[in-house]
Amino acid sequence: MKTPAFLYHLYTFYRDGFKNMTVGRTLWILVLIKLFIMFAVLKVFFFPDFLNSRFDNNESKADYVRQELLKINQ
Partner 1 sequence: MEILSSLVDWSRAQFAMTAMYHWLFVPLTLGLGVIMSVMETLYVKTGNEQWKRAAKFWMTLFGINFAVGVATGLILEFEFGTNWSNYSWFVGDIFGAPLAIEGVVAFFMEATFISIMFFGWKRVSKKFHLASTWLTVIGATISSLWILVANAWMQYPAGTTFNPETVRNEMTDFWSVLFSPVAMNKFFHTVISAWVLGSIFVIGISSWFLLKKRQTDFALKSIRIGTVFGLISSIILLVTGHGSAYHVAQRQPMKLAVMEGLYHGKEKADLQAFAILNTSKTYDNTEDEFLLSIPVPIPGLLSWLGYDNCNAFVPGVSDIIKGGYQLPSGQTALSFDEKQRRGKEAIRSLSDFRQAAATGDAEAKAKAKVGLDENYDYFGYGYIDKAEDLIPNMPLVFYSFHIMVILGMYFILFFIVVGVLVYRKKFENIKWLQKLAIWTIPLAYVAGQTGWIVAEVGRYPWAIQEVLPLNAAVSKISTGSVQLTFFLFLALFSVLLVAELGILTRQIKKGPEAEVN
- Summarize as ranges the residues that interact with partner 1 (CB under 8 A): 13-14, 16-18, 20-24, 26-28, 30-31, 34-35, 37-38, 42-43, 46-52, 58, 61-62, 65-66, 68-70, 72-73
Report the Cα 27 to chain-centroid distance in Å.
Answer: 18
The C-alpha atoms of residue 53 and residue 11 are separated, in whole angstroms, by 41
| CB-nearer residue toward partner 1: 7 or 51 | 51
C-beta closer to partner 1: residue 3 or 20: 20
How far is 8 from 29, CA to CA, in rounded Å? Answer: 26
